[in-house]
Chains A and B, each alone.
Chain A
Amino acid sequence: MHRFANPARFLRLSAVLLPWCAGATVILTILGLWFSLFSSPPDYQQGETVRIMYIHVPAAWMSLFVYTNMAIAAACGLVWKHPLADLFAKAAAPIGAGFTFVCLVTGSLWGAPMWGTWWVWDARLTSVLILFFLYLGYMALVNAFDDPQRGTKAGNVLLLVGIVNVPIIKFSVDWWNTLHQPASVVRMGGPSIDPSMLTPLLVMAGAFTAYFLSVVLLRVRTEIAQRKIQTLRLSVAGDGTVHDGMRG
Chain B
Amino acid sequence: MNEFLHMGGYAAYVWPAYGIAAIVLLGLLVATWKGLRDAEATLKALESARPARRRTRNAGRKTAEQSAGTPAEASEG
A interface residues, Cβ below 8 angstroms from B: 37-38, 42, 47-49, 51-52, 55-56, 59, 94-95, 98, 101-102, 105-106, 109-110, 112-113, 211, 215, 218-219, 221-222, 225-226, 228-229, 232-233, 236, 239-241, 244, 247-248
* A236 touching B28, Cβ below 8 Å: no
With A229-B43, A239-B64 in contact, do A112 and B25 touch (Cβ < 8 Å)?
no
B8/A42 in contact, CB under 8 A: yes
| B77 interfacial by beta-carbon distance below 8 Å | no
Central interface residue in B32, B36, B50, by most chain A CB within 10 Å: B32
Partner of B32, one of A56, A112, A215, A233: A215
Instruction: List the B side residues contacting A102 at CB < 8 Å.
Output: 20-21, 24-25
Question: Is B61 among interface residues, defined by CB-CB distance under 8 A?
Answer: yes
Find the residue from A94, A106, A112 having the highest chain B CB count within 10 A: A106
Residues from chain A with a CB closer than 8 A to the CB of B16 are: 109
Chain B residue at smallest Cβ distance from A29: B25
Q: How many residues of B contact A (CB 8 A)?
A: 36
Q: Which residue of B lies closest to A214 (CB)?
A: B29
Q: Could you tell me if B64 and A240 are in contact, using CB atoms closer than 8 angstroms?
A: yes
Given A51-B14, A109-B16, A215-B32, answer yes or no on A240-B61 (Cβ-Cβ < 8 Å).
yes
Given contacts A109-B16, A239-B53, 8 further A-B contacts (CB under 8 A): A98-B24, A101-B24, A102-B25, A219-B35, A228-B43, A236-B53, A241-B68, A248-B72
Across-interface contacts of B39 in A (CB, < 8 A): 222, 225-226, 229
For A47, list chain B residues within 8 Å (CB).
Answer: 8-10
Residue numbers in A under 8 Å from B21 (CB-CB): 55, 59, 102, 106
Near A by CB (< 8 A), chain B positions 1-23 give: 4, 7-10, 13-14, 16-18, 20-21
Chain B residue nearest in CB terms to A53: B17
CB distance from A59 to the nearest CB of B (A): 7
